[in-house]
Structure 1
Amino acid sequence: MPSGARGLPPGVGPHDKWIDVNLSRQRLYAYVGTQLIRQFVVSTGVAAYPTVTGTYHIYVKYVSTLMTGPGYYLPNVPYTMYFYRGYGIHGTYWHHNFGVPMSHGCVNMRTPDAQWLFNWAPLGTTVHIHY
């Protein structure tokens, strides 16, 4: 289990897929039960736009989508999986500075990594985010 994770999140069984995001380490871990499948370097929210903490579930997935907000307009954001309101995990083509906070609250991944996760994680997958 990654540093900061304490067992399985609520509702996750020993054979369930789930995603762990460690904001302190800027890492995302893909699990089946307690078995680590893959890990990735990510970029999460900057101090002004922090990534939410807690336990959520992927509620919609888009191969490509438009993201807009204060100060940004990003067409064709690849492999987007929303887990809470406008917060998502997705591929990133506008920066390559992974390992440090860079986003408006989303979890930014290298596009090939986001593609793998998108194909691996079904709708309803638990996303647990913590420091």
Structure 2
Amino acid sequence: MKCLNPVAMMLLVSTTLISTTFNVYSAPALSEPVLMARSSAIATKISALKKSNQRWIEIDLSSQRLTAWQGKTPYYAVIVSTGKDLTPTLTGVFEIQSKLRTARMQGDDYDIPDVPYTMFYSGSYAIHGAYWHRSFGTPISHGCVNVAVDHAKRLFDWASVGTPVIVRE
């Protein structure tokens, strides 16, 4: 992966992450066998989650839709904006690693303070509120999953650290 900007510090206050700055990385091209293995792992994980009563999040890149599930029951669905062709959203099986009420997002061509309701699920990749655009349904991000702020708050309040996140084509 190619780092597009330098690493920044996390602030920890009374064991609660308050704000941070994160890098955005470009993903390397994957071979056909790797893509097939990833697709199989995604299908297997979705099948297992639908047989459970666990909360989980599915992001469908082809429809630009995020669905929050509890087992096989959809809880909430929203239109999102995922990564552009040059800065794609990674597919795979992940889980929420951390949650921040606000974060700063920076890259070579952007610097956005106070990004609300940020849930990191793979390094610097996150589901978060986007107050700077209304183009949901169109891939326009630098790899993150952009959600309208009110929807992002609802998802942030519903999900916890460890909630599985499935990103598929």
TM-score normalized with structure 1 length: 0.92
Structure of larger gyration radius: 2
Indicate whether 1:102 and 2:130 are aligned: no
Aligned length: 127
CA contact (8 A) 2:45 2:93 kept: no
Structure 1 unaligned residues grouped into runs of 5+: none
Higher relative contact order (CA 8 A, sep 6+): 1
Q: CA deviation at 1:9?
A: 2.9
Report what 1:74 is aligned to.
112
Return the alpha-carbon distance in structure 1 between the equivalents of residues 45 and 152 of structure 2: 23
Aligned-residue Cα RMSD (Å) equals: 1.6
Structure 2 unaligned residues grouped into runs of 5+: 1-41
Report what 2:46 is aligned to.
9
CA contact (8 A) 1:9 1:55 kept: no
**Identical positions, percent:** 41
Quick check: which one's helix share is greater? 2
TM-score normalized with structure 2 length: 0.72
Report what 1:93 is aligned to.
131
Structure 1 residues 27 and 77 mapped into 2: Cα distance closer, same or farther (>3 Å)? same
Return the alpha-carbon distance in structure 2 between the equivalents of residues 65 and 8 of structure 1: 29
Q: CA deviation at 1:70?
A: 1.6
Query: Of 73, 94, 98, which aligns to 1:60?
Result: 98
